[in-house]
Amino acid sequence: MKKIRSKFLTAVVLIIGIAVMFPVTNAFASTSGSTPVNVAHRGASGQAPENTLAAFDKAIEFNADYFELDVQMTKDGKLILMHDTTVDRTTDGTGAIKDLTFEEIRRLDAGSWFDQSFAGETVPTLGEALDRYKGKIGILIELKNPELYPGIEQKVADELLKRNMGTTDNSDIIVQSFNWESIKQFHEILPSVSTGVLISNAQTIEGKITNEQLTSFQTYADYANPNKGLLDQDTVDRIHQHKLKTWPYTVTDREWAVRLTEWGVDGIITDYPILINMPASATTIKTLVERFEGKELSSTEAHSLKVHLTAVTQYEEKGLHEKVIKHMNGFNTLLNQQKENGLISDRAFNVLLDEATFLIGKW
């Protein structure tokens, strides 16, 4: 009995020693397998014109947890939502945002470039987005090119304070930027609002996010949000060890969504929220087809694709591997035929083909 007790005490001491030498990681530790926060990039921008109310509405419809938007400032000091520094790509106008008044920008069509069904969509203000979506969905605000707009940090803070969105800790509002000095400034103005640093390849040290950078970030930010290509398991772990969360950008295919989730990222910024909140399956692909239908492909072509997918769903339920693969290969053949004949948009073709290829590999 004494020998058993002695062995037990020895084991306890050994376990305690290991715990001291290798302590449990903090609360931000990687949680491989958990579902990341689903962030719709510029709204659900894969299926609606980016940075418009239509895209933000679809982010809610598609069950995203947050949507991301880009804030810039007009010639007369209004905060509007647009990614580029000019209006050329996403409207029917031309010119730099900083050289145009709000009324000039407001008259532009911000939807037709994406699809004619969105004709007449206007460029929204930050205030309109905050008023429309406050309490309905989280909002990730990017200060876009703040170096072009002196004082934009204070103006964004004022918009939040005006709506009582900055007086206490607001977990549903996050402000981020590639301009780290701008985020430092915003944090000093409104420390109760969570902040994040965006990280591009050019901002790394020889392609790596260093511990020195992470140590600096944690003094004024809560999130380190890099280009997805900058991440690996070690980098995700180091971000968490510095008590930061990470929401990488921008995911447009299932393979990256799965990889990042396995590494334990806290959120994923994506053009297609469905990649995060629905598993790879024929049912998911069918949902994507339905969302593209009428805009990116005709109802006739969508019906042909859905016939294949309905059969695959039945084979999936029965675990018939060979039939799943055979019919998904047929689906891909049909997709390619539609592409060759100009019956499907490049955007829809690429997304559906990626999903179908991933599903075939899964089986």
Task: Express as a percent the part of the chain with pLDDT over 90.
Answer: 89
pLDDT band at 167 (very low <50, low <70, confident <90, very high): confident
pLDDT band at 22 (very low <50, low <70, confident <90, very high): very low
Instruction: Compute the average pLDDT of residues 170-176.
Output: 88
Structural tokens at position 225: 């949000």
Instruction: Compute the average pLDDT of residues 45-72.
Output: 98
DSSP letter, residue 62: T
How far is the CA of 256 from the CAs of 86, 119, 202, in angstroms? 30, 32, 21
pLDDT band at 6 (very low <50, low <70, confident <90, very high): very low
CA contacts within 13 A on the Cβ side of 286: 14
Whether the Cβ atoms of residue 355 and residue 285 lie closer than 8 Å to each other: yes
pLDDT band at 11 (very low <50, low <70, confident <90, very high): very low
Q: What is the DSSP string of 149-177?
A: STTHHHHHHHHHHHTT-SSS-EEEEEEEE
Model pTM above 0.95: no
Q: Phi and psi dihedrals of 313, rounded to 5?
A: -55, -40
Q: What pLDDT, on the 0 to 100 scale, is given for residue 269? A: 98
pLDDT band at 333 (very low <50, low <70, confident <90, very high): very high
Each residue's pLDDT tens digit, 248-288 = 999 999 999 999 999 999 999 999 999 999 999 999 999 99
Q: What pLDDT, on the 0 to 100 scale, is given for residue 171? A: 72
Buried b vs exposed e over 310-346: b needs ≥16 C-beta within 10 Å? Answer: ebbbebbeeeeeebbbebbeebbebbeebbeeebbbe
Q: Which carries the bigger pLDDT value, residue 36 or residue 5?
A: 36
Each residue's pLDDT tens digit, 202-233 = 999 999 999 999 999 999 999 999 999 999 99
Q: What pLDDT, on the 0 to 100 scale, is given for residue 49? A: 98
Whether 45 has a pLDDT exceeding 60, the answer reads yes
Give me the helices (H) in 24-151, please.
Answer: 53-61, 102-106, 126-133
Q: What pLDDT, on the 0 to 100 scale, is given for residue 169? A: 63
Give me the catalytic one of 41, 240, 308, 327: 41
Whether 31 has a pLDDT exceeding 50, the answer reads no
Structural tokens at position 79: 């905060």
Instruction: Compute the average pLDDT of residues 99-110.
Output: 98
Q: What is the DSSP string of 71-93?
A: EEE-TTS-EEE-SSSBSTTTSS-
In 3D, which of 277, 337, 275 has the Cα closest to residue 305?
337
Q: What pLDDT, on the 0 to 100 scale, is given for residue 23? A: 34
Instruction: Compute the average pLDDT of residues 140-169.
Output: 93
- Tracing tokens 């205030």 back to the chain, one arrives at 127
Q: What pLDDT, on the 0 to 100 scale, is given for residue 166? A: 77
Rg (CA), the chain: 24
Number of other CB atoms surrounding residue 232 within 10 Å: 12
Give me the amino acid identity at 123.
V
DSSP letter, residue 117: G
Q: Phi and psi dihedrals of 209, rounded to 5?
A: -85, 120
Q: Which residues neighbour 105 within 8 Å (Cβ) at sequence distance 6 or greater?
A: 74, 80, 87, 91, 93, 97, 123
DSSP helix/strand/coil, 38:
strand
Whether 1 has a pLDDT exceeding 70, the answer reads no
Strands 66-73 and 79-81: antiparallel
CA distance 145 to 117: 30
Q: Which carries the bigger pLDDT value, residue 12 or residue 63?
A: 63
Instruction: Compute the average pLDDT of residues 17-41.
Output: 53
Q: What pLDDT, on the 0 to 100 scale, is given for residue 170? A: 63
CA contacts within 13 A on the Cβ side of 102: 11
Strands 267-270 and 223-226: unpaired
Active site residue 327: no
Q: What pLDDT, on the 0 to 100 scale, is given for residue 18? A: 34
Whether the Cβ atoms of residue 313 and residue 282 lie closer than 8 Å to each other: yes
Mean pLDDT taken over the chain: 91
Active site residue 83: yes
The C-alpha torsion from 214 through 216 and 221 to 222, rounded to 10°, is 30
Q: What pLDDT, on the 0 to 100 scale, is given for residue 25? A: 29
Instruction: Compute the average pLDDT of residues 241-250.
Output: 98
Task: Express as a percent the part of the chain with pLDDT over 70.
Answer: 90
The C-alpha torsion from 273 through 277 and 281 to 284, rounded to 10°, is -50
Give me the amino acid identity at 15.
I
Q: What pLDDT, on the 0 to 100 scale, is given for residue 34? A: 80
Structural tokens at position 241: 């060890």
Number of other CB atoms surrounding residue 31 within 10 Å: 13
DSSP helix/strand/coil, 225:
strand
Instruction: Compute the average pLDDT of residues 331-338.
Output: 97
Number of other CB atoms surrounding residue 300 within 10 Å: 9
Whether the Cβ atoms of residue 316 and residue 325 lie closer than 8 Å to each other: no
Instruction: Compute the average pLDDT of residues 289-293.
Output: 96
- Tracing tokens 């209004």 back to the chain, one arrives at 78
Q: What pLDDT, on the 0 to 100 scale, is given for residue 17? A: 38
